[in-house]
Structure 1
Amino acid sequence: MLQTTFIILTLLTMFLLYRGTGKNKQVVFLIFFWQLIIGFLSFTEVFKNTPLLFPLAIVGTIIITVFCVSKLATEKLNTDYLLGIHMIRIPVELCLYQLFLDAQIPKIMTFSGYNFDILIGISALALVLYRFLKKKDISKRYFKTWNIIGILFLSSIVIIAILSAPLPIQQFAFDQPNIALLEFPYSMLPTCIVPIVFISHIMLLKKL
């Protein structure tokens, strides 16, 4: 059930990016194709058996993310759909908490630890409701601050996740390391959902 939920969340995130970027097929297709590769490698347990290969996947993800940002036009952006991407952070955080209960990630990667990402998800929902009910845009100063905080929160948990993984650079959670992200479909979190969230933040800031 948790795996199915995570796959649905991944597909939904890609759909929201597609709509939020003015239906940019090139960007979404590239991300989807990358996920087919990542999904195959994690499903066949390549990352689980050889964890040192996963950093290469992250490097590839960073390159693809930078390329995608360079291909997106700000005039075609849809703010509501891009904010919808951040609302996905709420169910994602609930999935992470369940993975912690299943002993697949450490507590510090959840909202009961040092992961405050769920607050950005909740605030994104509030922003969407504000735009819908008030029929007006959010203050540019507030919106810029919100995006910067969102990037900082996301960057923080990414660093924690990397340093909690069973890699030579591991610094945290030796008793319950981050092994879930090496497995299918959770490998799509750092290689798909997280990059799309970053893209959304960056494009929202560029639109300002």
Structure 2
Amino acid sequence: MNFSTLVPAGFVALSAVMAWLFIYATRRVGYRLRERPAVRDRWVLIATGIVGILLSTTAALALSGALSDLNARPPLAAVLIGGTTVGTVALAFSRFGERLVLAWSMWALVGVQCFRIVVEVLLAGAYGLDMVPAEVTWAGANFDVLTGLSALGLGIWGRKSTLPRSVVWVWNVAGLALLAIVVVTAARSAFGLIETEPRMTFPATWPGIWLPTWLVQLALFGHLLVFRRLLRAPKSRTPEAASEAAAPREHSPRKTAWNMPRVAPPPEELPTARASGATEPPAYPAAPRRDPKRDAPQPRSLRKE
């Protein structure tokens, strides 16, 4: 396999891995939220349908050549990318996105964006093959690889401790801005608004169409989920409750039948012998006390025959 086929194969492999991860994350939500199996399977079916319809439809349009005319007004590729973007926003703010926000922690929502490192490496390889212009790679105006690298670092940090909300806010806004810059640059090159060499026609082919309609949409979807997680108001506590929670607590043993105090009933509630008609129990002679020296076993030689 030469390098010219390695880059397209890399985009196919990355798209397939992210499709599997999308379905897997949806399935794990059902276990984390303790949903019934029927409910969990329904959400998995929805996620599988989204992935299957999106990838198959876009691939069929690209392979048929319907997206190749980028000079049309409006270009079909632009309509397709715009439609998927609207669907991504709607999905992120739907019940589907809410389940992901409720089930997955902040470090997972941030750390998954490290897949953009692989995207930028593949774009750099495509630039080396003259498949994309330099403006959409890190050799030009694309610094989106910084978002992927920082997402990896924040994910490791958040896995070990709690991520500060201010840090996540800055990262999410900056990452979304870098994503918007590269998308606008690629769109201007593809539709002839700026002169680049070569023209950005890669998204009109397969598997290049999966870059704006699947991989970019996943990045946008992840940023929107992080925003939803950040906008969830943390549980507020009163100063008294906060100070009580911060104060050290003394260890108290668990109360069981062995260490609980014995409470005797009042004397008036105790039945007497006359009232109950019971007689005193007979007195038995006390058992003789055992003498250790006398009762100790004797050696065999000292025993009486």
Aligned in 2, Cα 1:93/1:119: closer, same or farther, shift over 3 Å?
A: same
> 2:114 aligned with 1:92, yes or no?
no
Q: What TM-score results when the alignment is normalised by the length of structure 1? A: 0.89
Q: Which runs of 4+ in 1 moved over 4 A?
A: none
Distance 2:208 2:110 in 1: 22
Task: Tell me whether 121-130 or 25-34 shows the greater mean CA deviation.
Answer: 25-34
Residue 109 (structure 1) aligned to one of 136, 143, 147: 136
Deviation at 1:19, TM superposition (A): 4.2
Higher mean C-alpha displacement, 93-102 vs 110-119: 93-102
Give the Cα separation in 1 of the matches to 2:208 and 2:109. 22
In 1, the alpha carbon distance for the partners of 2:89 and 2:168 equals: 22
- Structure 1 residues 70-123: Cα deviation after superposition (integer angstroms, max 9, x where no partner): 321121234444334311111110111111111121101001110000001111
Q: Which runs of 5+ in 1 are unaligned?
A: none
Contact 1:42–1:183 under 8 Å retained in 2: yes
Task: For structure 2, list consecutive stretches of 5 or more residues without a partner in the other structure.
Answer: 1-5, 31-42, 231-305
Tell me which amino acid in the other structure corresponds to 1:183.
T
Residues 1:116 and 1:87: Cα distance change in structure 2 (over 3 Å): same
Equivalent residue for 1:67, pick from 80, 83, 90: 90
Identity between Structure 1 and Structure 2 (%): 23
Letter of the structure 1 residue corresponding to residue 156 of structure 2: L
Which one scores higher on RCO, CA 8 angstroms, separation ≥ 6?
1
Q: What is the TM-score with the length of structure 2 in the denominator?
A: 0.62
CA displacement at 1:67 relative to structure 2: 2.4
On the 8 A contact 1:100/1:110 being kept in 2, the answer is yes
1:125 to 152, 160, 166: 152
Q: Residues 88 and 121 of structure 1 are in contact (CA less than 8 Å); yes or no, is this contact kept in structure 2?
A: yes
Mapped contact 1:86–1:124 kept (Cα < 8 A) = yes
* Distance verdict in 2 for CA 1:142–1:35, change over 3 Å: same
Q: Is the counterpart of residue 155 in structure 1 residue 180 in structure 2?
A: yes
1:41 Cα shift?
A: 1.0
2:60 aligns with one of 36, 40, 57: 40
Within 1, Cα distance between the matches of 2:183 and 2:227?
20
What is the deviation of 1:198? Answer: 0.7
Higher helix share: 1
Report the Cα distance in structure 2 between the residues aligned to 1:202 and 1:174, rounded to whole angstroms.
31
Counterpart for residue 290 of structure 2:
none
Aligned length in residues: 202
Displacement after TM superposition at 1:20 (Å): 4.3
